[in-house]
Chains A and B, each alone.
Chain A
Amino acid sequence: MKIGALRLFNVKRFAGRGVALEGIGDGVNVLCAANEFGKSTSFEALHALFFQPHSSTAGDVRNLRPYSGGNPLVEADIETAAGRFRITKQFYGGRSARILDLANGRIVAQADEAESFIAGLVRGGTAGPAGLLWVRQGVTGIDRRSKSEEDSEKQVRASLLESVQGEVEAVTGGRRMAEIMAATEEALGRLVTPTGRPKAGERYAETIERRDRLEADERRLSAEITALREALDKRSVAAKRLAELDRPEDRQQRLQAIAAAQATFDKAKTQAEVRRAAEAELLLTREQRDNAHREQMSFHAALERAAKLSGKLGEAELRNATALANRDAEAARAAKARADSDAAEREAVEARALLARLDAAQKAREAAEQLAELEQKLDAAEAARKEIEEGEASLALLRLPEKAVSELEALDIEIAKLKAVAEAGRPSVVIAYEPQAPIVSLDGEPLKDGEARSYGGRAELAIPGVGIVALRSNSPVGGDEQLRKAAEKRRVLLASMAVDDLAAARKRQVETQRQESDIRERKTRLSLLAPRGLPELREDVAARRAAAGEVLELKGDPVEARAAHEAAEAKRVAAWQAFRATEPMQTTAADAVVAAQTASARLDAERIEVQAILGPEAARAEREGQMAARLAGLDKLLAEHQAAVDRLQADAVDLASAEATLRRLRSVAEAAEKEIGRLREEIAGLTAEIRARSEDAVEEKWREVVDALAAAKGRVTAFEKEVAVLQRLRSALEDARGHARETYLLPVMTELRPLLGLLFDDVSITFDDKTLLPHKILRNGQEEEVERLSGGMREQLSVLTRLAFARLLARDGRPAPVILDDALVYSDDDRIEKMFDALHRQASEQQIIVFSCRQRAFQQLGGNVLHMSEWMPEN
């Protein structure tokens, strides 16, 4: 589609007036005019013509009306593949829409049909971007927006994000998609929460609640019915049983049976008592007879025992006497052995004491000897120590300081040396005697022949016969200070050593060494005498002295004494053993006595007992006869009683079973009565329960609930399916929209890239993989957030995006005009020129209409310059 002309009348500031923009051509068209000239009004009128139904009174349409009111009229000539048309819309009064075919002047469509025609133009099919691409100062989408939204957007400027996404949304289903999505969401929202759970308070949740409630009711009622049926069953069983029990003939029968059983029981009881008496008598008789028999038996036994006892008693007497004799003999033997043993013991003790004494004496003697020896050693040691001490004392006096001798020696040498040197430096006198010449002396000393004698200062040479020659030298006398000091040092040294000269000192040194040697020798001796020191030796001696006892005088030989002791000990042991050997014999003898006497006593007691049984000898035979007669009588009586008892037992009726029968019959009757009572009670209870439940019509309710539950379950299932369907639809729509976004966005970006290159030398845009939205701008190798782009760059990107879409549409054979209204207010002149280049580049393929107030800047744009002219509608 291309736009050829735009005319408007009664729009905004053009109250009662009309303006026209004629001759809009291909390529870039520019309407450049100052603000308030009507440029934005034209833009808005054009927008309303294409996007507002003629019947609309929406905000955008309202805005078109002049302040004074009136009916805005907008008209545009367009050219499409189908031909050239004129679209006219009047809003408010006389609202109309009309499409005129300019080729033949015929009306193609009016009113709603005209709207469909327009919609076909701008939507360019079903899924493409709008057939018109708009960019307005800061407003980048064409979707409907509220006024305040638009205002605020003018202030904050739309983000690039929206500028791209706006078109993309238009592509991906647009408002239809949004409405269908909204309808789906709304339908779903009435059923479930966003997380997919049934929404409380809504029909779905209510249906589920109702189903749950019915389920609970059903369970409750079902239980009640079960209870009712059980009660009915129980009652019928009880009633049947009661009828059986309560029959009169049965009751009579039970009573008769009890009476018969009672009679049988009474008879049995009488019989049993008679029999019990007979049995007691029999028992008594048998006891008497057995006693008589036992008495007779014991009498006979006693007789036999008496005979045996008289023999046994004699033997016992004899054995007793023997045992006593034996015991006494053994006692005597033991006493003797005891005496022997005691004597041997005493001897052994004496021998042992003697031996001990001998040993002690021996030991004391040896100790005394050792003590004497040690004492000698101690004396010697003490002497040695004294000598050492004395030696060391004299040595201390004698000993010269170390090095003193050697120092003295060195000093002597030095003095000699110094003397020699001095001597050499002094004038000297040598005389060569003539034979027999008198001896000349120097300073009193005779001078020998050839002997050079030196002198200091002045000297007198006495020549006998001649006189005294006074010699004087010029060197100062005694001027040798060094020698004097050495001599003084020597003197002090000698004084400190208390010797006269070196020889004496050496001598003392030798003496000292000799004495030291003596002391060392003595010390060695002392250590031999007292290897562990003198104090210890002293203590040892003192200890031994204290321990030393009196030395006993020894009598007898220790060896002999030891042999005697051993013999005495052997004897003692032998005597003891002999004594011990007698002990068992003695015990055995004593035991034999006891045994004999015990046996004797026992026999005696038995004899007394037997005599007691038998009684006096004379009456014995008579007694035996009496006993036999009594036994015979009792035997007879016993047989009689036994026969009587046997007879009674044979005739007896079983009392226990008679009683059991009676008891059983009575309990049967009682139980029957009790059960009758219980059944009557039970039936009454059940009847009450049944009546209560029956009157509640519980089963009717139950059936009602069962039916309602089935219906509610069906409803829940239907709702579940409805939710599933809506969710599936929603996801299908979301998927499709996402997919469309993807498939349209990428081609647009492909188109956008060269345009970006045209405007920005070194800018590239990266897109987020997930949102498919611009993510980062790479400029001069630096990444920047899209949100931080300058206003100028944003609007440039916004325009470029539209241009890219326009290219895409043109390629699809659906060219769409791009309309820009003050779209480049923030861009600097340099950029604007680059944008112009981009626009021209695009314009070779499509129509671009630019509205701007920046007259000066837009002079550079070139293109077809549009002018507004006055216009009046035809009618």
Chain B
Amino acid sequence: MTFRFIHSGDLHLGKRFGQFSGDLPAKLREARHAAIGKLAEHARSHGATTILLAGDTFDTETPSADVRRQALAEMRHHGGICWVMLPGNHDSLQAAQLWSTLRAEAPENVTLAVEATPLELAPDVTLLPAPCTTRRPGRDLSEWMDGAPTSEGAIRIGLAHGAVQSFSEEGNGLDVIAPDRARRAGLSYLALGDWHGGVEIDQRTRYCGTPEPDRFKHERPGEALMVTIEGAAALPQATPLETGSFSWRRLALDLLDGDDPVARMAALLPEARLRRQFLINLVATGRAGLEARTALASAAESARADFAHFEFDDRGLATECEAGDLDAIDRVGALREAADVLLMESADTSRSTEEREVARSALARLYAYAQAVAP
């Protein structure tokens, strides 16, 4: 007996991305919706008929009607697939309105796992869901799985949403799911949601990650897991599937004095054609000369337009100033004097970090202006 299904979750449909401007928020939102279709496609191509969504299908307890209706319509469209939707912390059962509306609107192929009772997924395959009753239930909701009765030899699959350790997305550790719940409850597989990067807790317990990333936190692409279970006792086979359309990357550019920062940066950035699907957070650290620094800032500025979003943070980058750099401002005279004062101030440890930072930036600005006006 082989049972194959797709394990996904944290779709966060309807998330608006207010921190961005322009049409990027709309694109990101649209990409989340598109994840439904991608999951269905993967299921079809791998011969799976069940997709388990381990919570946080919707970003909020009150998703707007279009988000909800369009999601259900998309699921209905993939009629051969059974979607199992578990309430997560973002769309917990406390959002009674949401779930009652969903119950009324859900098509036949969408199952709402809103009660902690065994659900028959297939003959001898039982799903034990642990829906989030509230945003912060304050207890391990998967505990009931231990004593849940199933027929002899059935494959028991757990479905839960929340943290197994203190690394929850929400950052509190009150309602931690026992990491060895799979063993305790005799589960073949425990499908977990909440953590947006795919993680294997043990051989039978996994977080699937979000199919479409929504922050810089996780260095993983959008993905879902295809899980194959050969029998109640067999170890499950989990294969990651790529689903993301946008990539969120935090790039660390650690510079040494003498490095060519522009080349280093270019090496980190993805291929030009792909850049429009990338959100980049480039963090420069280490040390750089004035010229290198100015060059880096200008290169970063010019690279900005390539990307869906590009952030450049050089606050951690210390300025290494050489005589030549200052000469480029002026060899002697008032400008040079101003540059000297600013350089000294930026290295003066008796001043506050902010003051030094301001002096350093002022020096860089002076350098940039000096380059702009004819010598």
Asked whether B249 is an interface residue with its Cβ less than 8 Å from the other chain, the reply is no
Asked whether B370 is an interface residue with its Cβ less than 8 Å from the other chain, the reply is yes
Asked whether B22 is an interface residue with its Cβ less than 8 Å from the other chain, the reply is no
Q: How far is the CA of A519 from the CA of B375 in the complex (A)?
A: 147
Using known A-B contacts A695-B65, A721-B358, determine if residue A710 contacts B19 with beta carbons closer than 8 Å: yes
Q: How far is the CA of A236 from the CA of B15 in the complex (A)?
A: 26
Per-residue CB contact flags for chain A residues 132-148 toward chain B (1 = under 8 Å, else 0) read 00000000000000000
Asked whether B338 is an interface residue with its Cβ less than 8 Å from the other chain, the reply is yes
B15 touches A126 (CB 8 A): no
A231-245 residues at the B interface, CB under 8 angstroms: 232-233, 235-236
For B342, list chain A residues within 8 Å (CB): 728-729, 732
Query: Which segment of A176-184, A196-204, A398-406, A599-607 sits at the interface?
Result: A176-184
Asked whether B49 is an interface residue with its Cβ less than 8 Å from the other chain, the reply is no
For A700, list chain B residues within 8 Å (CB): 14-16, 59-60, 62-64, 67
Asked whether A707 is an interface residue with its Cβ less than 8 Å from the other chain, the reply is yes
Q: How far is the CB of B103 from chain A (nearest CB, A)?
A: 14
A737 touches B373 (CB 8 A): no
For B330, list chain A residues within 8 Å (CB): 126-127, 173, 176
With a 10 A CB-CB cut-off, give which of B67, B95, B97, B361 has the most chain A CB atoms.
B97
B341 touches A735 (CB 8 A): yes
Task: Give the nearest-CB partner of A176 in chain B.
Answer: B373
Q: How many A-B residue pairs have CB under 8 A?
A: 160
Q: How far is the CB of B281 from chain A (nearest CB, A)?
A: 12
Task: Give the nearest-CB partner of B368 in chain A.
Answer: A183
With a 10 A CB-CB cut-off, give which of B16, B101, B333 has the most chain A CB atoms.
B333
Asked whether B262 is an interface residue with its Cβ less than 8 Å from the other chain, the reply is no
Asked whether A691 is an interface residue with its Cβ less than 8 Å from the other chain, the reply is yes
A714-736 residues at the B interface, CB under 8 angstroms: 721, 724-726, 728-729, 732-733, 735-736
B95-114 residues at the A interface, CB under 8 angstroms: 95-98, 101
For B170, list chain A residues within 8 Å (CB): none
B336-355 residues at the A interface, CB under 8 angstroms: 336-338, 341-342
A127 touches B336 (CB 8 A): yes
Using known A-B contacts A172-B333, A725-B358, A729-B365, determine if residue A699 contacts B61 with beta carbons closer than 8 Å: yes
Q: How far is the CA of A704 from the CA of B307 in the complex (A)?
A: 22
Asked whether A832 is an interface residue with its Cβ less than 8 Å from the other chain, the reply is no
Asked whether A581 is an interface residue with its Cβ less than 8 Å from the other chain, the reply is no
A725 touches B60 (CB 8 A): no
Asked whether B362 is an interface residue with its Cβ less than 8 Å from the other chain, the reply is yes
Q: How far is the CB of A414 from chain B (nearest CB, A)?
A: 134
A235 touches B366 (CB 8 A): no
Q: How far is the CA of A728 from the CA of B15 in the complex (A)?
A: 41
Asked whether B228 is an interface residue with its Cβ less than 8 Å from the other chain, the reply is no
For B357, list chain A residues within 8 Å (CB): 721
B62 touches A739 (CB 8 A): no
Complex partner residue of B62 from A697, A707, A711, CB under 8 angstroms:
A697
A180 touches B335 (CB 8 A): yes
Q: How far is the CA of A696 from the CA of B66 in the complex (A)?
A: 11
A732 touches B341 (CB 8 A): yes
Q: How far is the CA of A236 from the CA of B61 in the complex (A)?
A: 15
Asked whether A740 is an interface residue with its Cβ less than 8 Å from the other chain, the reply is yes
Q: How far is the CB of A410 from chain B (nearest CB, A)?
A: 131
A732 touches B362 (CB 8 A): yes
B358 touches A697 (CB 8 A): no
A126 touches B62 (CB 8 A): no
Asked whether A494 is an interface residue with its Cβ less than 8 Å from the other chain, the reply is no
Task: Give the nearest-CB partner of A739 in chain B.
Answer: B337
A736 touches B335 (CB 8 A): yes
A691 touches B97 (CB 8 A): yes
Asked whether A102 is an interface residue with its Cβ less than 8 Å from the other chain, the reply is no
Q: How far is the CA of A740 from the CA of B334 in the complex (A)?
A: 6
Q: How far is the CA of A658 from the CA of B365 in the complex (A)?
A: 94
Query: How many residues of A are counted as interface, with CB atoms below 8 angstroms from the partner's CB atoms?
Result: 54
Q: How far is the CA of A691 from the CA of B98 in the complex (A)?
A: 9
Q: How far is the CB of A143 from chain B (nearest CB, A)?
A: 16
A126 touches B336 (CB 8 A): yes
Per-residue CB contact flags for chain B residues 300-331 toward chain A (1 = under 8 Å, else 0) read 00000000000000000000000000000011
For B366, list chain A residues within 8 Å (CB): 180, 729, 732-733
A707 touches B375 (CB 8 A): no
Asked whether A386 is an interface residue with its Cβ less than 8 Å from the other chain, the reply is no
For A171, list chain B residues within 8 Å (CB): 333
Q: How far is the CB of B171 from chain A (nearest CB, A)?
A: 15
For B20, list chain A residues within 8 Å (CB): 711
A180 touches B334 (CB 8 A): no
A736 touches B337 (CB 8 A): yes
Interface of A is mostly: helix
Asked whether B1 is an interface residue with its Cβ less than 8 Å from the other chain, the reply is no
A233 touches B62 (CB 8 A): no
Using known A-B contacts A176-B373, A711-B18, determine if residue A697 contacts B333 with beta carbons closer than 8 Å: no
Asked whether A228 is an interface residue with its Cβ less than 8 Å from the other chain, the reply is yes
Q: How far is the CB of B29 from chain A (nearest CB, A)?
A: 10
Using known A-B contacts A228-B62, A697-B67, A704-B18, determine if residue A728 contacts B333 with beta carbons closer than 8 Å: no
Asked whether A664 is an interface residue with its Cβ less than 8 Å from the other chain, the reply is no
Asked whether A161 is an interface residue with its Cβ less than 8 Å from the other chain, the reply is no
Per-residue CB contact flags for chain A residues 200-235 toward chain B (1 = under 8 Å, else 0) read 000000000000000000000000000011001101
Q: How far is the CA of A697 from the CA of B65 in the complex (A)?
A: 8
A699 touches B60 (CB 8 A): yes
Q: How far is the CA of A28 from the CA of B112 in the complex (A)?
A: 104
Complex partner residue of B334 from A127, A229, A701, A705, CB under 8 angstroms:
A127
A179 touches B62 (CB 8 A): no
Asked whether B52 is an interface residue with its Cβ less than 8 Å from the other chain, the reply is no
Per-residue CB contact flags for chain B residues 232-261 toward chain A (1 = under 8 Å, else 0) read 000000000000000000000000000000
Q: How far is the CA of A630 from the CA of B98 in the complex (A)?
A: 94
Asked whether A708 is an interface residue with its Cβ less than 8 Å from the other chain, the reply is yes
Asked whether A690 is an interface residue with its Cβ less than 8 Å from the other chain, the reply is yes
Q: How far is the CB of B248 from chain A (nearest CB, A)?
A: 14
Complex partner residue of B331 from A126, A687, A709, CB under 8 angstroms:
A126
B16 touches A704 (CB 8 A): yes
Complex partner residue of B365 from A690, A698, A701, A725, CB under 8 angstroms:
A725
Q: How far is the CB of A824 from chain B (nearest CB, A)?
A: 32
Task: Give the nearest-CB partner of A172 in chain B.
Answer: B334
Task: Give the nearest-CB partner of A734 in chain B.
Answer: B338
B334 touches A726 (CB 8 A): no
Asked whether B144 is an interface residue with its Cβ less than 8 Å from the other chain, the reply is no
Q: How far is the CA of A471 from the CA of B81 in the complex (A)?
A: 215
For A737, list chain B residues within 8 Å (CB): 334, 338
Task: Give the nearest-CB partner of A695 in chain B.
Answer: B65
Task: Give the nearest-CB partner of A708 in chain B.
Answer: B18
Using known A-B contacts A126-B330, A725-B362, A740-B333, determine if residue A708 contacts B19 with beta carbons closer than 8 Å: yes
Using known A-B contacts A697-B63, A733-B335, determine if residue A707 contacts B362 with beta carbons closer than 8 Å: no
Asked whether B359 is an interface residue with its Cβ less than 8 Å from the other chain, the reply is yes
For B101, list chain A residues within 8 Å (CB): 694
Asked whether B94 is an interface residue with its Cβ less than 8 Å from the other chain, the reply is yes
B16 touches A707 (CB 8 A): yes
For A177, list chain B residues within 8 Å (CB): 333-335
B96 touches A232 (CB 8 A): yes
Complex partner residue of B60 from A703, A707, A711, CB under 8 angstroms:
A703
Task: Give the nearest-CB partner of B359 in chain A.
Answer: A728
19 additional A-B residue pairs with CB within 8 Å, beyond A127-B335, A703-B59, A739-B337: A127-B331, A179-B373, A180-B373, A232-B96, A236-B96, A694-B97, A698-B62, A700-B16, A700-B67, A701-B16, A707-B16, A708-B19, A725-B361, A725-B365, A728-B342, A733-B366, A736-B337, A736-B341, A740-B334
List chain A positions with a Cβ less than 8 A from chain B.
125-128, 171-173, 176-177, 179-180, 183-184, 228-229, 232-233, 235-236, 687, 690-691, 693-711, 721, 724-726, 728-729, 732-733, 735-737, 739-740
List of 10 A-B pairs having minimum Cβ-Cβ separation, nearest first:
A127-B333, A697-B64, A708-B18, A704-B16, A699-B60, A704-B18, A707-B18, A736-B338, A711-B19, A173-B334
Task: Pick 17 A–B contacts, CB within 8 A, sort by A.
Answer: A127-B331, A183-B369, A236-B96, A694-B101, A697-B67, A700-B16, A703-B18, A704-B17, A704-B18, A706-B18, A707-B18, A724-B358, A725-B365, A729-B362, A732-B342, A736-B341, A740-B334
